[in-house]
Each structure stands twice: as structure tokens, then as C-alpha cells.
Amino acid sequence: MKVVIVGNGPGGVELAKNLSGEFEVTVIEKEELPHYSKPMLSHYIAGFLPEEKLFPYSLEWYDRRGIELRLGTSALFIDRAKRVLATSKGEFPYDVLVLATGARAAEPAVPGKEHLLTLRTLDDARRIKEKLEEEGEIVILGGGFIALELAGNVAKAGYRVKLVHRKRNLLGLDEELSERIRKELEGIGVEFHLETNVLSASENGLNTDRGYIPGRLKVCAFGIAPNVELALRSGIQTGKGILIDDSFRTSAEGIYAIGDCAEYNGMILGTARAAAEQARVLASILKGESASYDFFGSTVFKFADLSLAIIGRTDGEGKWLDDETRVFYRGDKPVGAVVFGDLRKALRLEKEIREALNPS
């Protein structure tokens, strides 16, 4: 069986890895580089990691596994009747096609946006790193995990960091948890400008509703825009992302979607961990094994030296079990948790919560 995968991010590469050997696997990727780690980009920008360490798999690794990797190749259109993918470098017939096209960084919509950089690819990271080394300081827009990871790492490396966020809360968490994260990051020198809306950008700074913030290097790190264009153009149903059912099937026969481009029940999980987990479950499904995915968002971040796990649903009151662990409930059922520090404890808790929500 021929499986063609569009996208070589964590979703695409993990799927290829799990299917290789049993299926004929081709990966179509528009970038010229083999798979690299996006979660490590801010460590690279801060100078903690040389560029070559971003690449977990060499080109020989793809060869050895029998995965045909077509780099520098853009997928353009799917002829669903003929089961053929048209690309910038020719046509690829498939039995199964998997869209793992990911997302791009959301673009700011303010006057002067050409003075703002975004962070998604290694090219973006190279540009930011070069300018950071020239300027010695950075202004980061956003209050999600990409913004906080970048702020934490770059501040830890000794650069001056200002973080501008339109809300008071960070990572969508409540005030108490946000405050704790803010204090940790302030402790290593991050300067916070919260509840601050950017009105316009210029070469030398930002105009905000709370005054002018100087800074020549400004990076937007607030949200993603799923890459749905290929699906849309090929008549596959999309919402914010490519619409899928609980087995990753799109509206088109033989075509699946996973990772940041896929929307299930209004949710796009938006993490490397979710993309890789979905890939492993889809691989089992394609092999005819019984497998299911629970679309339970859970991930681990590292903001400089602060490790943090956000598990499941974290809205509502919550109860501190100890200094590091807050658990959230619906009725008396645990549905989510936030864990600082001990990530092994976080994994144990995640397992308990998942089991409580999906009793077998």
C-alpha cells in the first residue's frame, strides 16, 4: 500500500517512522531541510544549542528506513477521483494520503507589521538569532508557550527581554498560576507589559495603548494559522483546521489529517507531543490494529529553568494538592492539572486523569 504524507514536522515524520517497513511511504515537504525540532528553536536562538543538534534524523536515516523523502516539493492539489497528489515536482499516486501540513505563525494585523518578525521555522529562528546578537535585546509579543519559552531562554542567556501581552493571564491559565509563572520569569530578568495592546509598529519600537516601547527586534509569538489551503483547494471540508473524525478521517475517502492542521470537535491541540501521539495512533489504525485517540490536550514546557506541565482542562477553581500541583475537577472527577517542576509526577497524574475520564 502506498502512503503519501504531506509535511515532515513531528506529525509527518513520526507517522513515516511508524509505517516504514510495512508500507511504501513517501514524505512530501516544501522546506529544503530534513525534520528539525521546533520546540528547541528558542534554545538555539539563545545560543544554548548548536544548529546541528536541532536535527534528530539524518538523510541516511530516511534512506535506511526506506522512506522516500521529497524535500523542496510543495503539494498543490489532490485529484481525489484518481487518487493522485499533484506537487511542484510531479505527481504522486497514493492509496492513503495523510495531510500533516501543520500551521504557520499567526500574522499580526497592525500598521507597520513589516517591522515584526514571527517564529515558526528554522529560517525564522536564524533571522531572529542574528538580529538578537546585533541588538542585545528583544521585544516579544504574546503570552502563550512559544512566547514564554523564547522569553525564558533568551533572558537566561543574558539578553534584555520585554514581553508584551494584551491579557493579564498567561497560557490561558488563571490569575494565581499566571502570577507564579510571571514571577519566575521576572526573577531571570523578563520585563512584563501585560494588558497592553499594540497599536502600531515602527523600525525602532511599538506604540501601545500604554505608551511607547522601544526595541528594534520585535517578534510576534501569539497563535497559529493552520495550513488548510491544500485541503480547501481540493474540496475537503475545513473549519479553522481540516475537519477530522475521531479516527483522523477527513471528509474525503482515503485522506486523513493529523497535527496542527487538523481540527477535531472544534479543537486544534497545537503541540508537537499531540502531533506525534496522533501519528502513532493513526499508524496503528492504518495497520488494522485497534487504536483510538482521546484528544486530551497535555504537554510539557520549559521556560528557562521552570518546567511546567499543563494537563487536560484547566479552567474553574482547582485545588492545590501541594506547592507544585493544582488539580481541576468537574464534580468530584479530576479533569486536568497544572504541575510545576516534577515532570514524572505530572506523567503519573496525567495517566490517572485519562483513566478516570476514559474508564476501560
Ligand X SMILES: Cc1cc2nc3c(=O)[nH]c(=O)nc-3n(C[C@H](O)[C@H](O)[C@H](O)COP(=O)(O)OP(=O)(O)OC[C@H]3O[C@@H](n4cnc5c(N)ncnc54)[C@H](O)[C@@H]3O)c2cc1C
Cell numbers standing for residue 263: 481540527
C-beta closer to ligand X: residue 196 or 227: 227
Taking the C-alpha atoms of residue 276 and residue 270, their distance in angstroms, rounded to an integer, is 11
Taking the C-alpha atoms of residue 223 and residue 260, their distance in angstroms, rounded to an integer, is 11
Instruction: Tell me the closest approach of the beta carbon of residue 215 to ligand X, in angstroms.
Output: 19
C-beta closer to ligand X: residue 12 or 336: 12
C-beta closer to ligand X: residue 215 or 297: 297
Taking the C-alpha atoms of residue 242 and residue 248, their distance in angstroms, rounded to an integer, is 10
C-beta closer to ligand X: residue 98 or 188: 98
Instruction: Tell me the closest approach of the beta carbon of residue 132 to ligand X, in angstroms.
Output: 14
C-beta closer to ligand X: residue 231 or 353: 231
- Judge contact between 250 and 236, C-beta under 8 A: yes
Instruction: Tell me the closest approach of the beta carbon of residue 53 to ligand X, in angstroms.
Output: 15
C-beta closer to ligand X: residue 208 or 222: 222
Taking the C-alpha atoms of residue 328 and residue 315, their distance in angstroms, rounded to an integer, is 7
Instruction: Tell me the closest approach of the beta carbon of residue 124 to ligand X, in angstroms.
Output: 8
Supply φ then ψ for residue 192, to 5 degrees. -95, 135
Instruction: Tell me the closest approach of the beta carbon of residue 278 to ligand X, in angstroms.
Output: 8
Q: Which amino acid is at 52?
A: E
Residues contributing to the site for ligand X (CB under 6 A): 6-12, 28-31, 38-39, 41-42, 74-75, 100-103, 119-120, 145-146, 149, 227, 230, 259-261, 270-273, 275, 299, 301
Instruction: Tell me the closest approach of the beta carbon of residue 14 to ligand X, in angstroms.
Output: 8
Burial class from Cβ neighbours inside 10 Å (0-12, 13-18, 19+) for residue 251 reads middle
175-187 vs 145-156: helix crossing angle, rounded to 10: 20
C-beta closer to ligand X: residue 94 or 145: 145
C-beta closer to ligand X: residue 74 or 284: 74
Taking the C-alpha atoms of residue 17 and residue 69, their distance in angstroms, rounded to an integer, is 12
Cell numbers standing for residue 77: 492539489
Instruction: Tell me the closest approach of the beta carbon of residue 317 to ligand X, in angstroms.
Output: 26
Instruction: Tell me the closest approach of the beta carbon of residue 351 to ligand X, in angstroms.
Output: 18
